[in-house]
Amino acid sequence: MTEIYPHKIESKDVNLYYGNFHALKGISMSVEKNTVCALIGPSGCGKSTFLRLFNRMNDLIDGIKIEGDCLIDGKNIYSKEVKIDELRKRVGMVFQKPNPFPKSIFENVAYGLRVNGISHKTLIEERVERSLKQAALWDEVKDKLKKSAMQLSGGQQQRLCIARALAIEPSVVLMDEPASALDPISTSKIEELIYELKSQYTIIIVTHNMQQAGRVSDSTAFFYMGELIEYDLTKKLFTNPSDTRTQDYITGRFG
Amino acid sequence: MIGILFSILGFIIYKGIGVISWEFITEMPKDGMTKGGIYPAIIGTLCLIGGSIIFAFPIGVMSAIYINEYTKHGYFRSFIQLMTSNLAGIPSIVFGLFGMSLFVNQLGFGDSILAGSLTLGLLVLPIVIRTTEEALKAVDDNFRQASLALGATKLQTIQRVTLPIALPNILTGLILSIGRVSGETAPILFTVAAYFLPKLPTSIFDQVMALPYHLYVISTSGTNINDSRAMAYGTALVLILIVLILNLTASAVRRYLSKKNNIN
Amino acid sequence: MKKLIGNLIQGLFLISSTVTTLTVLLIVFFLFSEGLSMFKESPLEGENILAVHSNNKVKTVSAEQIKNIFDRKITHWSEIGGSADSIILFTSQDFDTYFNADDLGPKFEHLPRKIDSLINSTPGIIAVFSSRYIPPHFRGKLIEVSNVSLNSFMSGREWFPTAHPAVQLGVLPLILGTLWVSLIAILIALPIGLATSIYMAEVASVRMRNLLKPVIELLAGIPSVVYGFFGLIIIVPMIQDIFNLPVGETALAGSIVLAIMALPTIITVSEDALRNTPRAMKEASLALGANRWQTIRRVVIPYSISGIAAAAILGIGRAIGETCFGHSVRLALS
């Protein structure tokens, strides 16, 4: 496919209000295709809110007001023609806490396909297997696909959620602190996975863990009090930040 | 202390167990309700349970889904919730009078299964709504968000994720409301219950006998109270057994479904 | 298409909750309209009218006065603002004593004329008869019965909705009765219920609790008519024996039955409330050297007091509903 638009994901002067609270203040940034972008910053800085702009999960919250443009492949996802469920099919999401449905492992991965009207049995089986392989979970669960997903360990559950998100073939994957509830071994597996997935997907990941951001991402954005303080290549931002607040945060002086 | 409560159970079981026999539950009452069985009352109560649940369950569950999944926090939602809790607070005799006025007289159903079922349905509506609402509230928001994030519509999310997870608790509420229906006397007094009618109903516009009202009649105003005392014990025991069976079913259904979902 | 179906079903959901809301409004409306019509109707039974001699100065009487007149508690017109004549009663039951059956004709066609002459010749008479028998040229005077006023309804001491010739609608004894019976029921049920729930939540072993909890939930589900039946055959005779009363169907019996009825609800709800006390709070108290009872009294109960209050209200709320019923149709069987 030829690259028509310069950026895969772009936000233009986005402001967001929860009632009277100004949660995002004029954020403009862009993410290139097939890269990993990390969002860092102290709690309550707006990074998760920013992440959830791109699959319109913020729409669920009462009393929210959004200004400015969010673009994916150059199209404003907040325009009237965009159907929310179509958008969410193209933009997968992995949540902080592993949240598999209380169904079988197979049905969890197949869920997104079924709700999008795919009922062809072999097609579903193929997709489930491929997604589980992509999420590096296939070998562990291939013999117990009919078992309840709730029996898996936390790390396996999170990889299942990633497989579930990949099954509907999104082009963007949003990850909201995907490893914060996991042990170190599971965390490193997820990180490896993110690195692998980069070749096919554009990924935005919110994380509290500075080392993680350094390891997995190509570019990093630092948020503070609802503002985008600094956005740069990860190497540059971690070794030579241009703003003192970024410097203070990554060296652990606050947050 | 709980001994008092136990002794009530024990007493009625002790006195009633001798009365219950196959004939008791399959025969018509005879001799001024001092002999024979309570078959028509059992059938009548079953009709009323069925009728009221057909009416109350869909409306109740749908209302609860609307309140919990579709409305946002605000005046409209609190207004509906206020109305529901008001409905729950109305004494059952008022439902009886209301049912008599609206269904029996205004709508012209007469004393009938239809009028009685609708009245009982209104009575249990708040119970169904309340338990369904609680069940839906107990479903972790993460499940809803995960489903929506996968491109499911709101309706698909409710149908495929929220309702299956909430189902055990919803069914528990349903079974409890059946228990309530089977035991109420006041609402059926003016809408359906027959004092003595030793035949089975043929349509929904027929009167029927019902267990609780039958117990009331034979223990207070029957033609011969002392002679029908044994029948009263038997009827009371049958009522208790119905409640017991429903409770056991409720906990069995609950255990089965949560094992199936594997969420504990 | 998908969206259309979604909207349709959402509409269905909306209609359902509207039904619920409308029902409540309908019930409220029904209570008001039926209740208000009571104030508009004459307390006289059916088609009856009240007639006196044409010289009588009294223009209206109240339902209570009618009752007292017919109970012979008021015997002279002077007591209700009339002349000094003594009151002579005449109702449809007195037809035979005043008239000869032959005079009335086979179809009572002469009755109106007879009534007319009787009233005209008896200055102290007060006559109650059906409006069908009003004579064509009536020489007596019809007097009005004042409608039931809100005041007399709320403060009236007598409730005889089927009394003859005028119904007595004073709701005060019903309200007081309900309040008394419920109050005594709370006084009996609350301490017992609270003690039991504390035992179950804090003292009992897990096995004991797992055994008791379902049984008490079962008891909460038992129909009130069964409790009423139990009260009738056990509590009522017991009270009759203990206090040597001619009848045992007293307020006390009612209160005891209601207390028993409310107990399971009170126990389950307040036990849930007690168990919701955070473990950390209890442990903090125990770690400071408080013993188990001090912890229960100073930490657990204050923390769950709102839940306990809710339990008492729920339990008694159900019971009060049943008492109202008990008074009007004696269904509480007490």
In this predicted structure, the answer to whether residue B87 has a pLDDT above a threshold of 60 is yes
Confidence of residue C134 (pLDDT cuts 50, 70, 90): confident
- Residue A14: name the closest of A85, A64, A82 by CA: A64
Ordered alpha helix ranges (H), chain C: 2-40, 63-70, 95-98, 101-104, 111-121, 150-155, 172-198, 206-221, 224-230, 236-243, 251-275, 279-287, 292-295, 301-303, 305-329
Shortest CA distance from B216: residue in chain C:
C225
What average pLDDT does range B201-209 have in this prediction? 78
CA–CA gap between residue B35 and residue C94 (Å, rounded): 44
Write out chain A residues lying below 8 Å of B142, CB-based: 95, 97, 99
Using DSSP bridges, classify how beta strands A202-206 and A172-176 pair: parallel, antiparallel or unpaired.
parallel
**Cβ separation A116–B161 shorter than 8 A:** no
What integer pLDDT is reported at residue C325 of this predicted model? Answer: 44
Q: Are C298 and C288 in contact (CB under 8 A)?
A: no
CA–CA gap between residue B146 and residue A161 (Å, rounded): 9
Q: Does C46 touch chain B (CB under 8 A)?
A: no
What average pLDDT does range B234-248 have in this prediction? 84
Q: Give the DSSP per-residue string, chain B.
A: -HHHHHHHHHHHHHHHTTT--HHHHHS-EETTTTEE--HHHHHHHHHHHHHHHHHHHHHHHHHHHIIIIIPPSSHHHHHHHHHHHHHHHS-HHHHHHHHIIIIIIIS---SSHHHHHHHHHHHHHHHHHHHHHHHHHTS-HHHHHHHHHTT--HHHHIIIIIHHHHHHHHHHHHHHHHHHHHH--HHHHTTTB-SS--S---STTS-B--HHHHHHIIIIISS-TTTTHHHHHHHHHHHHHHHHHHHHHHHHHHHHHHHHHT--
CA–CA gap between residue B247 and residue B40 (Å, rounded): 24
Task: Tell me the pLDDT of chain C averaged across its residues.
Answer: 75
**Cβ separation B236–C324 shorter than 8 A:** no
Shortest CA distance from A97: residue in chain B:
B142
Domain spans in chain B, listed from the N-terminal domain onward? 39-261
**Cβ separation B149–A165 shorter than 8 A:** yes
A: neighbours with 3+ CB pairs under 8 Å? B
- pLDDT higher for B74 or B221? B74
In this complex, the residue of B1, B8, B247 whose CB is nearest that of residue C221 is B247
Test mutation, C198, C226, C234, C320, chain B, max B CBs within 10 A: C226
What integer pLDDT is reported at residue A131 of this predicted model? Answer: 93
Residue C211: partners with Cβ closer than 8 Å, 6 or more residues away: none
Q: Does A55 touch chain B (CB under 8 A)?
A: yes
CA angle at residue B203 from B197 to B207, to 5 degrees? 30
**Cβ separation A55–B149 shorter than 8 A:** yes
- pLDDT higher for B20 or A69? A69
Minimum mean pLDDT range among A175-189, A229-243, B27-41, B103-117: B27-41
Q: Are C263 and C304 in contact (CB under 8 A)?
A: no
Q: Does A60 touch chain B (CB under 8 A)?
A: yes
Q: Are C80 and C143 in contact (CB under 8 A)?
A: no
What integer pLDDT is reported at residue A123 of this predicted model? Answer: 93
**Cβ separation C260–B8 shorter than 8 A:** yes
What integer pLDDT is reported at residue C333 of this predicted model? Answer: 36
ipTM of the predicted assembly exceeds 0.85: no
Write out chain C residues lying below 8 Å of B247, CB-based: 214, 217-218, 221
Q: Does B198 touch chain A (CB under 8 A)?
A: no
Instruction: Retrieve residue B9's tokens.
Output: 């159970």
**Cβ separation C260–B129 shorter than 8 A:** no
- Residue B24: name the closest of B196, B235, B197, B245 by CA: B235
Global pTM reads 0.76
In this complex, the residue of C23, C218, C321 whose CB is nearest that of residue B247 is C218
Q: What DSSP designation does A103 have?
A: S
Confidence of residue A31 (pLDDT cuts 50, 70, 90): very high
H or E segment to which residue A165 belongs = helix A154-167
Write out chain B residues lying below 8 Å of C217, CB-based: 247
Q: What DSSP designation does A242 have?
A: S
CA–CA gap between residue C183 and residue C333 (Å, rounded): 18
Q: Does B189 touch chain C (CB under 8 A)?
A: yes
Instruction: Retrieve residue C70's tokens.
Output: 């017919």
In this predicted structure, the answer to whether residue A247 has a pLDDT above a threshold of 80 is yes
Q: What whole-number percentage of chain A has pLDDT above 90? A: 41
Write out chain C residues lying below 8 Å of B176, CB-based: 221
Task: Tell me the pLDDT of chain B averaged across its residues.
Answer: 81
In this complex, the residue of C6, C219, C221 whose CB is nearest that of residue B176 is C221
b/e per residue, C143-181, with b = 16+ CB within 10 A? eebeebeeebeeebeebeeebbbbbbbbbeeeeebbeeb
Q: How does pLDDT run across C194-225, given as a tens digit for each residue?
A: 888 888 888 888 888 888 888 887 887 788 78
What integer pLDDT is reported at residue C151 of this predicted model? Answer: 66
Q: Does B143 touch chain A (CB under 8 A)?
A: yes
Show which of residues 54-113 on chain B sit within 8 Å of chain A, judged by CB atoms.
72-74
Show which of residues 13-32 on chain B sit within 8 Å of chain C, judged by CB atoms.
none
In this complex, the residue of B73, B140, B149 whose CB is nearest that of residue A93 is B149
Q: How does pLDDT run across C36-95, given as a tens digit for each residue?
A: 776 666 666 666 777 777 777 777 777 777 777 777 777 777 777 777 777 777 777 777
Shortest CA distance from B185: residue in chain C:
C225
Domain spans in chain A, listed from the N-terminal domain onward? 9-250
What average pLDDT does range B216-237 have in this prediction? 74
Q: Does B93 touch chain C (CB under 8 A)?
A: yes
**Cβ separation B2–C329 shorter than 8 A:** no
Q: From the centroid of its chain, how far is CA C211?
A: 38
Q: What whole-number percentage of chain C has pLDDT above 90? A: 0
What average pLDDT does range B13-37 have in this prediction? 73
Q: Measuring CA to CA, how many Å separate A182 from each of A153, A191, B173?
A: 10, 12, 37
Q: How many CB atoms lie within 10 A of CB B142?
A: 16
- pLDDT higher for B264 or C321? C321
Shortest CA distance from A86: residue in chain B:
B151
- Residue A34: name the closest of A195, A161, A162, A179 by CA: A195
Write out chain B residues lying below 8 Å of C322, CB-based: 91-92
**Cβ separation C222–B183 shorter than 8 A:** yes
Confidence of residue A3 (pLDDT cuts 50, 70, 90): very low
Write out chain C residues lying below 8 Å of B66, CB-based: 10, 13-14, 16-17
Test mutation, B63, B87, B97, B238, chain C, max C CBs within 10 A: B63
Q: Measuring CA to CA, how many Å separate C195 from each of C185, C204, C253, C314?
A: 16, 12, 22, 17
What average pLDDT does range B65-82 have in this prediction? 83
Rg for chain A, CA atoms, rounded: 18
**Cβ separation B219–C2 shorter than 8 A:** no
Test mutation, A99, A148, A164, chain B, max B CBs within 10 A: A99
Q: Does A56 touch chain B (CB under 8 A)?
A: no
What integer pLDDT is reported at residue A255 of this predicted model? Answer: 53
Confidence of residue B176 (pLDDT cuts 50, 70, 90): confident
Minimum mean pLDDT range among A223-227, B37-41, B186-190, C249-253: C249-253
Q: How does pLDDT run across B119-138, given as a tens digit for each residue?
A: 999 988 888 888 898 889 88
Q: Measuring CA to CA, how many Å separate C10 from each of A63, B130, B151, B263, C14?
A: 21, 19, 19, 29, 6
Write out chain C residues lying below 8 Å of B95, CB-based: 27
H or E segment to which residue A25 belongs = strand A21-31
Q: Which CATH architecture group holds B39-261?
A: Orthogonal Bundle (1.10)
In this complex, the residue of B73, B156, B262 whose CB is nearest that of residue A62 is B73
Q: Are A92 and A166 in contact (CB under 8 A)?
A: yes
Q: Are A152 and A159 in contact (CB under 8 A)?
A: no
Show which of residues 216-255 on chain B sit within 8 Å of chain C, judged by CB atoms.
216, 219-220, 229, 232, 236, 239-240, 243-244, 246-247, 251
In this predicted structure, the answer to whether residue C326 has a pLDDT above a threshold of 70 is no
**Cβ separation B84–C324 shorter than 8 A:** no
Q: Measuring CA to CA, how many Å separate C16 from each of B125, C13, C28?
A: 11, 5, 19
What average pLDDT does range A48-56 have in this prediction? 91
What integer pLDDT is reported at residue C296 of this predicted model? Answer: 86
Q: How does pLDDT run across C258-299, given as a tens digit for each residue?
A: 888 888 888 888 888 888 888 888 888 888 878 888 888 888
Confidence of residue B263 (pLDDT cuts 50, 70, 90): very low
Q: Does B165 touch chain A (CB under 8 A)?
A: yes
- In chain A the first and final C-alpha atoms are separated, in Å, by 42
In order of their start, the domains of chain C are 48-169 (3.40.190.10), 172-329 (1.10.3720.10)
In this predicted structure, the answer to whether residue C155 has a pLDDT above a threshold of 70 is no
**Cβ separation A112–B156 shorter than 8 A:** no
Show which of residues 119-138 on chain B sit within 8 Å of chain C, judged by CB atoms.
122, 125-126, 129
Confidence of residue B89 (pLDDT cuts 50, 70, 90): confident
Show which of residues 179-198 on chain C sit within 8 Å of chain B, judged by CB atoms.
192, 195-196
What integer pLDDT is reported at residue C169 of this predicted model? Answer: 65
- pLDDT higher for C160 or C28? C28
Q: Which CATH architecture group holds A9-250?
A: 3-Layer(aba) Sandwich (3.40)
- In chain C the first and final C-alpha atoms are separated, in Å, by 61
Q: How does pLDDT run across B28-58, given as a tens digit for each residue?
A: 776 666 667 788 888 888 888 889 999 999 9
